[in-house]
A and B are shown apart, each in its own frame.
Chain A
Amino acid sequence: MSHLSEEQLDQLIAAERSRVEEPLNSWRTIAARAREEGLIRESERSRFWRSGEPWLRAAAAILLLVGGIGIGRATIGLPSGTTGATASTAVTDPPSNTAAAPASISNTNPSPASNISFASVDEASAALDRAVLEYQRASQFIAANNLSARTSDSAAVYRARAEALDKIVNATKSALQGAPHDPVLNQYYLATMGAQAATRQVVSVGLRGF
């Protein structure tokens, strides 16, 4: 059997270096550990946001899902629409454990938003966190598997997309300086970070290309 040349191996290494995957753990896992160790200390302000204003969290969820899906669909090159059904699916479906799982989401029966009910703010918050994670995973899965989105001029498209996402991240970052605990801004920021990761993954997969 012939061997890969040194140059070919370097190309594979370069592709590996730029490969982006989702984190190994969820933030909830990391946060639980950090809370146990006392590294996370809840301020009065954060407690206010966490438990004092349920309607703000609900608004954050709606804005995140509608806006995030819009960002995501644009990011992965799919037509817009059906956001309502997708949003309610993202909220109600249980979390999946693998990156491949989101592929089945579109085949499930979406629940109308009016059927969503939560017993507590914590429960709604947990659902929101799961939705963010699902959204990020689904974006990355579609980015990695939606071959039809990779057109001949995709390099320019990805550049434009990456620049736009950078601007959104910068804008939400700037806004967070004045309102670091605002749930809407935080969720937008995190969702955009997910879209950024998905875009990078497309570029990474494109670089591998074999």
Chain B
Amino acid sequence: MSEMPFDQLDLKRAIAGDERAMQRLWSQHAPHIDAVVRRLCGDPELAADISQEVWMQIFRALPSYRGDSQFGTWAHRIAVNRTLNALRKIRRIAKLEIDIEDDSAITEMDSDRTFVAESIEQAMGKLSPGARAVFVLHDVEGYTHIEIGEELGITPGGSKSQLFKARAKLRKLLAHLVDESPNIAGKGKGHVASV
């Protein structure tokens, strides 16, 4: 949904501390902002905690929003930065820059050969935090490898490599869906992220 001019009025009111305006901004954008937090965390409880921090940061930073991009895009960037920082703080991806280049770190529970994912969300939860971050940012959120490199402090090549491995792992974890539903193969081609 495209953003409407009314957002600008709500922004002014929200900056002034108007709760109703803040609630309207939150209502409009929380489903999308919280979704990226949820995907990056892979843990609903942790995601709920981090989401609170994300929204506080968004409201704190409102006066610095210049309108150069859509509000949703601006808030999305804050959500990604804040979530990655929070994950680093709790050491979920403390060694991301090292792990990202390490093939053995592609999954947290790679030894669990019998695991069958019921959904892509569940399958993403089986990726290592670093691999999940690369996959989510590139394939779901549309970041380029250069942008991912800047966010995660890795090289674009490392990001590409990690994405390739993450996708291979996901294809394996979700392989049973091919047998269960021929609809996947029958549907039109979905989004193909540029690599």
Report chain B residues within 8 Å CB of A11.
184, 187-190
Using A16-B140, A24-B48, A41-B16 as known contacts, say yes or no to A5 and B185 having CB atoms under 8 A apart.
Answer: yes
Report chain A residues within 8 Å CB of B56.
30, 33-34, 37, 39
**Chain A 1-37 interface 0/1 with B at a Cβ cutoff of 8 Å (1 = within):** 1111111111111111101111111010111011001
A4, A24, A42: the one contacting B178 at CB < 8 Å is A4
B26, B38, B174, B180: the one contacting A12 at CB < 8 Å is B174
Do most interface residues of chain A lie in helix, strand or loop, or is the interface mixed? helix
B31, B170, B175: the one contacting A22 at CB < 8 Å is B31
Using A23-B30, A24-B51, A209-B183 as known contacts, say yes or no to A34 and B59 having CB atoms under 8 A apart.
Answer: yes
A210 CA to B47 CA, complexed, in Å = 26
| A120 interfacial contact with B, CB 8 Å | no
Size category of the binding interface on chain A: 35 or more
**Chain B 168-192 interface 0/1 with A at a Cβ cutoff of 8 Å (1 = within):** 1011101111111101110111111
| B139 interfacial contact with A, CB 8 Å | yes
Report chain A residues within 8 Å CB of B26.
23, 27, 30
| A181 interfacial contact with B, CB 8 Å | yes
Q: Nearest Cβ in chain B — how far from A193, in angstroms? A: 5
CB–CB A40/B38 < 8 A? no
Report chain A residues within 8 Å CB of B28.
193
Q: Which 10 A-B pairs have the closest CB atoms?
A: A41-B17, A14-B190, A210-B181, A23-B30, A11-B190, A10-B190, A4-B171, A24-B51, A24-B48, A3-B171
